[in-house]
Amino acid sequence: MAPETTIPGYDYGSEEIARSPVSSDELELLKQTVLFGPEDADALRLAGEVLSDQVEDVLDVWYGFVASHPHLVRYFADAEGQPIDEYLDRVRARFGQWIHDLCGRDWDQAWLDYQEEIALRHTAAKKNSTDSAAGAPAEIPLRYMVAFIYPITATVREFLARRGHSEAEVEAMHQAWFKAVTLSVVLWARPYAEGRW
Amino acid sequence: MAPETTIPGYDYGSEEIARSPVSSDELELLKQTVLFGPEDADALRLAGEVLSDQVEDVLDVWYGFVASHPHLVRYFADAEGQPIDEYLDRVRARFGQWIHDLCGRDWDQAWLDYQEEIALRHTAAKKNSTDSAAGAPAEIPLRYMVAFIYPITATVREFLARRGHSEAEVEAMHQAWFKAVTLSVVLWARPYAEGRW
């Protein structure tokens, strides 16, 4: 899955981004905790293929959800409460690439490092600077990071079912996706808790 | 759902426990974020009825999962790494009651307060003192609190399907359960992040 270098702020594999303090051993224990095994890795790869040409449709659903909830869209709005279109667009492009990366990348050190970078981009450390979004809230509260596990998981199932796979295949892809999203949010929660993570 | 007063350390509704700093307005926004609506409330009540006489079986699955993973059972072990049976038993009884409460209680101030108490009992503030579990690790790391959303959600589906309900009813119960578990973990994450929650 080659990086799409035209995505603003998409720095996967760059020397400029954060290094993850999470070790590969710690990642392995987290995979065990969400019951992520080799069959899930295969199912997630397949999910990535199934979703690859539907990413914009998935993003339409997610952005529609955020846009229709003032308590969510405010994190992408300026000090007057006006959504910042350029900020939303830049984040959207990376959010789409995240789908490709989560399903298609190996979960190696570069992947761990980029999860740390994504984590920091939700916090005061890096949230607005990446997209020059001055005036937007400095941080997305942890509560919404964790709560998003539900909508990001549930909304994807219909897209997984649209390419003619059996019910068992769709279910396997969806469970792998659920595990992978949960694991991602675990990694993105790290800066909020530091030594208590 | 009357409290089972024989459960050690089960202090639901007590004046002795923590007060939640989470407001009912904040809870409402979290419910919106996990898409929890009135139909989910109904489905969750039904799930509580379906699970009510299967709680010990559910706990067998969950405890089997923890017991088979050294990186998890260690939080219930003494300084020598030996699991503390009395501690595990006391937590188990409250874990079972949590299933009843999550499905059967109104999510009012008393419920919110008890979520805060449960949250603190995973942290250094209250983890071992409730059960006199001296020598056990002082805190369960946030990573495993969030990661547990997956196993606690996925393992329940088979139990929801065991009482003759239609596939649509089982699915509705399971989605409501997933939302409710995610929301619970959101509330339990609060002390780890405090002002960043």
Residues of chain B with Cβ-Cβ distance to A153 below 8 Å are 178
- The count of other CB atoms within 10 Å of the CB of residue A25 is 9
Nearest 5°: phi and psi at B140? -90, 125
B47-61 confidence digits (pLDDT tens): 999 999 999 999 999
A169-195 confidence digits (pLDDT tens): 999 999 999 999 999 999 999 999 999
Interface of A with B in 27-86 (CB under 8 A): 29-30, 32-35, 69, 71-72
Do the Cβ atoms of B182 and A146 come within 8 Å? yes
pLDDT of residue B173: 98
Do the Cβ atoms of B147 and A186 come within 8 Å? yes
Predicted TM-score of the model (pTM): 0.97
Nearest 5°: phi and psi at B151? -60, -35
One-letter identity of residue B1: M
Do the Cβ atoms of A69 and B150 come within 8 Å? no
Q: Does A175 touch chain B (CB under 8 A)?
A: yes
Percentage of residues of chain B with pLDDT beyond 90? 95
> DSSP class of residue B128?
T
Strands of B47-154 (E only): list them: none
What is the pLDDT averaged over residues A92-111? 98
Residue B24 burial (C-beta neighbours within 10 Å; 0-12, 13-18, 19+): exposed
Using a CB cutoff of 8 Å and minimum separation of 24, what contacts does B132-140 make?
B133/B76, B133/B84, B133/B87, B134/B78, B135/B78, B135/B79, B135/B80, B135/B84, B136/B75, B136/B76, B136/B77, B136/B78, B136/B84, B136/B87, B137/B74, B137/B75, B137/B77, B139/A196, B140/B75
Closest of A74, A104, A72, A78 to residue A3, by C-alpha: A104
- B24, containing H or E segment: helix B24-33
One-letter identity of residue B197: W
Q: How far is CA B45 from CA A138, B27, B105, B153, in A?
A: 39, 19, 9, 16
Q: How many angstroms away from the CA of B137 is the closest CA of chain A?
A: 12
Q: Does B197 touch chain A (CB under 8 A)?
A: yes
Average pLDDT of chain A to the nearest whole number: 96
d(CA B27, CA A80): 25
Quickly state the pLDDT bin for B112 (edges 50, 70, 90). Answer: very high
Interface of A with B in 1-30 (CB under 8 A): 26, 29-30
| ipTM associated with this complex | 0.96
